Amino acid sequence: MRWEQGRQAIEGMIGRGELGKVPASRSQAEEMIDQARKHVAAAQLTAQGESIIDLSVKVIDQMQPF
């Protein structure tokens, strides 16, 4: 199955050198997914009316140390 939505835009970016292939990195992909989950959680808390201070504390508590 081939995709069509956005194909022309992506192919144009590849042709202009704006996009290229990169080696796959499972650990980096997992880190990015974890970051995305934190952003979604923060958005959900904000939508529920949590204050920015409460939200910040919860997000910081979920962060992993470097």
pTM: 0.47
DSSP state of 65: P
DSSP per-residue letters across 1-63: ----TTHHHHHHHHHTTS-------HHHHHHHHHHHHHHHHHHHHHHTT--HHHHHHHHHHHP
Count the Cβ atoms, other than its own, within 10 Å of residue 41.
Answer: 14
Of 28 and 60, the structure prediction assigns the larger pLDDT to 28
Please measure the distance between the N-terminal and C-terminal CA atoms of the chain and give it in whole angstroms: 41
| pLDDT per position as a tens digit, 26-50 | 999 999 999 999 889 888 877 777 6
